[in-house]
Amino acid sequence: MDERRRIALLYGGKSGEHEVSLQSATSILRNIDLDRNSVVLIGIEKSGMWRLQSDDWIERVRTSDVTVTIDSDRPRVFAIPAAGLHVDDGTHIPVDAVFPVLHGTFGEDGTVQGYLECGDLAYVGAGVAGSSIGFDKALSKSLWMQAGLPCVPFVSYEVPPNGPTGNWLTEIEEQTRLAFGPTAIFVKPARGGSSVGVTRAESSAELADAVRHAARFDSKLVIEPEIKAREVECSVTGNSSPQAWAIGEIVPRHGFYDYRAKYIDEDGAALIVPAQLDHEVSITIRETAVRAYRAVDCHGLARVDLFLDDGAGEIMLNEINTIPGFTRISMFPVLCRELGLSYPELIDAVIDLAIEQKARIDSLEYEYPAEGSE
Ligand SMILES: Nc1ncnc2c1ncn2[C@@H]1O[C@H](COP(=O)(O)OP(=O)(O)O)[C@@H](O)[C@H]1O
Ligand SMILES: [Mg+2]
């Protein structure tokens, strides 16, 4: 009998980061310990449709440098409330845990997490609340401020239903200047990733353009003053007692760490691991990362991104990513490996955490005892 854990790798997704997910999934498939785990592949098309993929991918990905894709003529898959994953002919797909390696919308934002939760499935990463708060730059920063954690100041606006137009834009500019003065400004979609829709603006014309641009990607915006500081990132894993791993630094070569620097221009940014930091500073960053993780109710794993102003000796939280880029050479796994946790061990560790978290949820009571029965 196959005693291995059966893991559903859920990848692709209805997200601008669909292709990034294919890379992460390929890397997991190539490196997961197949003595401990067996894998079933479920690809989510850009339309949002779930499809069971052929097991042949496992051999192909592990013996060549091919990237996994999604075959759309395969059977559909869905989760049935309280009954797990099924193929559309009714066949049950028994799994011990789902690994949603989905970046961005409909994957990292709590929607898929809620769906899996209804299906009574264990899954890797943050739950519904942690995912949706972590994905929303305004909500996460609000909770960090409430927890007394240092973070980038911001204002947030809901874009009117008729779009970002005349009076509303003028008002936004006035309020932004009132809040932050005549400094350069960053405008971003509140819920996005991969720097999509993020623009730096100086003049009022640039600010209006930046707001209009961000509003194409989300109905809620976050506006911040430019922080002139080093960009550092810290991996955190765990459920009730999270642990911070090493700290890395991003050094963008031109301007800021935009989409181009992340995925197109190979020399767009240098990733330095470990970041060169004073011992005291690195302790503060790691402690802050763990507190930030807890404050937004994270479980499993997350990468916490911060700014570090060496001169002022100040750190500020920027954002948290609950399903960070997860290829073998992505920052998250590299920071874990730096402190001794290899990539295959990390994959096993986050699956263990998923199963632990599910057992915790299952141990809770969901009914009041009938009167007089206790
Ligand atoms: N307030 C800011 N000051 C300076 N640079 C910023 C600021 N906000 C974002 N950036 C730059 O833009 C990049 C992308 O912004 P970020 O908030 O991390 O969004 P995303 O979720 O798309 O990664 C950051 O990595 C950083 O280089
Ligand atoms: Mg970022």
Ligand 1 proximity of 226 Cβ (cutoff 6 Å) = yes
Among all ligands shown, which has an atom nearest to the Cα of 257?
1
pLDDT by 10s per residue, the chain, length 374: 889 999 999 999 998 889 999 999 999 999 999 999 999 999 999 999 999 999 999 999 999 999 999 999 999 999 999 999 999 999 999 999 999 999 988 899 999 999 999 999 999 999 999 999 999 999 999 999 999 999 999 999 999 999 999 899 999 999 999 999 999 999 999 998 889 999 999 999 999 999 999 999 999 999 999 999 999 999 999 999 999 999 999 999 988 999 888 888 888 999 999 999 999 999 999 999 999 999 999 999 999 999 999 988 899 999 999 999 999 999 999 999 999 999 999 999 999 999 999 999 999 998 887 776 66
Ligand 1 proximity of 325 Cβ (cutoff 6 Å) = no
In sequence order, the 6+-apart residues with CB closer than 8 A to the CB of 125 are 100, 113, 131, 299, 300, 301, 302, 322, 323, 350, 354
**How many angstroms is it from 113 CA to the middle of ligand 1?**
26
Kindly state whether residues 170 and 268 are assigned to the same domain: no
In a domain, residue 143? The reply is no
In a domain, residue 108? The reply is yes
Ligand 1 proximity of 180 Cβ (cutoff 6 Å) = no
In a domain, residue 191? The reply is yes
Using CA atoms, how far apart are residues 121 and 84, in angstroms rounded to an integer?
6
What range defines the domain where residue 109 resides?
5-123
Last residue of a domain, one of 225, 255, 281: 225
**How many angstroms is it from 257 CA to the middle of ligand 1?**
7
Kind plus residue range of the DSSP H or E element containing 27: helix 18-31
In sequence order, the 6+-apart residues with CB closer than 8 A to the CB of 88 are 75, 76, 77, 78
Ligand 1 proximity of 57 Cβ (cutoff 6 Å) = no
In a domain, residue 367? The reply is no
**How many angstroms is it from 187 CA to the middle of ligand 1?**
9
Kindly state whether residues 193 and 249 are assigned to the same domain: no
Kindly state whether residues 171 and 278 are assigned to the same domain: no
- Encoded tokens for 69: 């894709």
| Residue 137 CA, closest ligand 1 atom number | 17
The CA dihedral of 282, 287, 289, 293, to the nearest 10 degrees, is 170
Kindly state whether residues 323 and 305 are assigned to the same domain: yes
368's torsion region: left (phi>0), alpha (psi -120 to 50) or beta?
beta
Among all ligands shown, which has an atom nearest to the Cα of 104?
1
Q: How many domains in the chain? A: 3
Using CA atoms, how far apart are residues 237 and 348, in angstroms rounded to an integer?
12
Domain containing residue 61: CATH number? 3.40.50.20
| Residue 194 CA, closest ligand 1 atom number | 22
